Structure 1
């Protein structure tokens, strides 16, 4: 009987240990975030008849200040985000301006979506949104109540769902205040977390180069200060010395390669290929007058670009007289430890 007693006791201990191990494994699996292979984040739009500016981490990703028509598109943003907390913003004009340009069917739904693979299977999840209804008969807080509630979320089989555990990502509460660029305007914004395998991009640690809100004095002063940098860059592109041009874009290109999981050197080689084709075609550099070029300083006050004021695109442009079109490159500068560099 003693022997049977000890066999029973040992079996009970083993079963208890196995049960504890299973519980621990289940708890660990529950707490672990889903590992998405090569995640790609997008700013996704569903907008109808609504003037707006859409901003991620202080950089304008999309804007349409006329607000005419419908837009349903997506913009890749891996090169503008970082591991951890990021910010999504919707900027729109003063209420009297918006009221004249919207109607009962106007809408503005903006989402951050992550895509990738898990175990070889393609996935797509919404990880943040701002859903705004321009109904001025209701309080401001009611106009964006259709947005995802703040909190922690986990990836389920088909969609992201709220969780009380650590989860896969989190979203901050929707907040509202005035537009830093134009204090008569408005913005709503919230934070969201991203899980990405690449390092924090250099511009996040750049020096502050500007202070909003914009005034004629600080805008004109900044533009006059950086204009010689653009003239020098134009001279270089006009010289067609590709071996002198490419080094200026190496840091930018390396970050783009990492952001979109490309082979090292892909982006700089693609840029070189485009330049050779432009020079072979004989397109002249399109030098636009100072007054016709627009200074754009990012809302994070760390980046700037100068672009064609007509449509806010094109830092370096080559003119095709036959088709009356421009082939253009957009470029952003940053300053770090007193040194300027092209980072986007």
Structure 2
């Protein structure tokens, strides 16, 4: 994939879905076979035997090694061939690439680029995910038929909520509230406050508010694949300062994006909240609410992808709300340029 940097941590799949069976995955157009060793460590190898190019995922897991299902060549977790049936010598060329992996926030993350750079690059972490004052609930892996950058556009864009998510995350009170943004490091933060307005359907359901609320959206995008939305509500009479958001009902909706190929991505989503910490019923109801909302995004994004394919000549117009998504894409472009040529990136 030409529109995604390689030197970054990408979500591969949920940790809960990696076990002692061979599974196929694709990230940045790279076919992978994924499994766990007997000690529980995740492994990702190129899904191709270098002999006749049979997919290793069609083979068998033997101990910690993968046996090709065509001629029995066997590869260890580091990608080196450890056995060739019928001959005692193993050429050094008999190996496949093994990718650096980490586990964080319930996900296995993969580094598709220069492996030497992976050890010094931290994997994204949300402090509230680990706090006893918050409650984290894993979501799903939503497959969306569009470029990961189109999904990233959506996740840098509070304005769409007022029109796409009227049954869950938005209402008309926010339609004309402008958004603000700033570039922070290799990311963008986009935000707005809606003061003294009716609560959105989701918080009306869980907040038991007596009247109007103040509510906020902070969209934190960290290039190239992480978007965390901090949103919540509090009684308008409380007149919360932005630094006091923990006094209201507050949720972090986390979106960890896997670019599969040019027209397919996966949104691994979860939420972290500061209310109803031990209520399994709220877990399930919120899960259904978020599933509804994110499938609304899926529907519109797949339609956009269809139009992009069928009408590539159509020009787009720019609006004020596009400033943050444009800067997000420039950040990604600079990351790609830096990999191709450090001088060009500067």
Give the TM-score range, shorter chain.
under 0.3
Normalised TM-score (structure 1): 0.27
Normalised TM-score (structure 2): 0.26
For CA contacts below 8 A with separation 6 or more, give which structure has more relative contact order: 2
Structure number with larger C-alpha Rg: 1
